[in-house]
Amino acid sequence: MADLASGSWLPRRGRTLQSLGLAEAPRDRPLLYPGAWPSDSGLLDGDRLLPLDRLVHDDRVPVLAVGSNACPGQLRHKMDEFGIVSPIPMARARVTGIEVGVSAHVSRMGYVSASPFHAPGRVRELFVTWLDAEQLAVIDTSEGVPLPNGNYGRPWLPAPEVRIELADGTTLPGAFAYVNRHGVLHDGADAPRTHPGQRALLTELLLGSARLRGLFGVTADEFCARARADAALCEQGTRLFAAEKLVTASGLERYLREERA
């Protein structure tokens, strides 16, 4: 631990996820998606978020988080499921070239999640999670990467197409990211739409589609309750997105093809 966290001599009281407002996981409360993100870089260590002594970890894999994987409560939940207690460095980054879109699938967690799309010149504050092999396998599994019909692939997004600058001025040569294999939802004009948060998103989607209301109800709360853990219904919702022509390309498909080559 001491090689990852600065100020490791400090009393370990305080800086809990609960005290920082970072403990809740969208897996438990879908309408919170994508969950609360930290205000700055930190080391997720159990139920605490500690300071980092460095932002680059060459012995780990950099993975860009655009949704709930930047929520410490969600990350902790995923690791706990597999008994993994090793800490996770989370480095805040200024990212140019991608934007946070809406995945063209309904998650069994009860929400419609995020996925990146190509957005030249667009700048976002995101997080790079530095994962060891065990942690990477857990997140891959949660995103369906190992499955041929899984929702996400994990391609490498290279610089300069995607520029990732850390707070200390370091620019990374690229990072992995979870890109939806179904595509993303569009904004009504065939351009990818940005993710506005779960309640606003579901409310808008339900208002725009009678067929979607027939499957999931008329409110965001009903949507989450019906979708949660109902794999068949989620698959119906995913197919309906495509059938109603709500889906467009993310612009990152070429990296998915390279990943599978």
For residue 15, what is the DSSP state? Answer: -
- Answer whether residue 55 shows pLDDT above 70: yes
Q: How far apart are CA 123 and CA 164, in angstroms?
A: 10
| Tokens of residue 239, six digits | 């197919």
Supply the pLDDT for residue 4.
53
pTM: 0.93
Q: What is the mean pLDDT of the chain?
A: 94
DSSP-H helix ranges across the chain:
17-20, 72-81, 133-143, 198-208, 210-216, 220-227, 231-243, 253-260
pLDDT of 143 reads 97
Nearest to 178 by CA among 28, 61, 69, 21: 69
Strand, coil or helix: what is 112?
Answer: coil
Residue 50 and residue 31: Cα distance in Å, rounded?
27
- Residue 38 to residue 82: CA distance in whole angstroms: 23
Mean pLDDT of 55-61: 97
Cβ-based burial of 93 (10 A; exposed 0-12, middle 13-18, buried ≥19)? buried
Per-residue model confidence as pLDDT tens digits over 93-150: 999 999 999 999 999 999 999 999 999 999 999 999 999 999 999 999 999 999 998 9
**Segments making up each domain of the chain, as ranges:** 17-195+248-260
DSSP state of 31: G
Alpha carbons within 13 angstroms on the beta-carbon side of residue 177 total 32
Tell which wins on pLDDT, 229 or 105. Answer: 105
Region at 144 (left for phi over 0; alpha for psi -120 to 50; beta for the rest): left
Does 199 have pLDDT greater than 70? yes
> Which pLDDT score is estimated for 140?
98
Q: Is the pLDDT of residue 12 over 70?
A: no
Q: Percent of the chain having pLDDT more than 90?
A: 91
pLDDT surpassing 70 at residue 180: yes
Task: Give residue 136's pLDDT.
Answer: 98
pLDDT of res. 190: 85
Confidence band, pLDDT 50/70/90 cuts, at residue 259: confident
Q: How confident is the model at residue 1 (pLDDT cuts 50, 70, 90)?
A: very low
17-195+248-260 CATH: 3.10.490.10
Residue 195 CB contacts under 8 Å (≥ 6 apart), including other chains: 34, 67, 100, 101, 102, 114, 201
| Residue 231: strand, helix, or coil | helix
Question: Is residue 188 pLDDT above 80, yes or no?
Answer: yes
What's the rounded mean pLDDT across residues 50-59? 96
Give the residue, 2 or 29, on which the prediction is more confident.
29
- Residue 5 pLDDT greater than 50, yes or no: no
Q: What is the pLDDT of residue 14?
A: 72
Q: What is the share, in percent, of the chain residues with pLDDT greater than 70?
A: 94
Average pLDDT over residues 15-33: 96
Give CA–CA dist 195/113, Å, rounded: 8
Model confidence at 258, in pLDDT bands (50, 70, 90)? confident
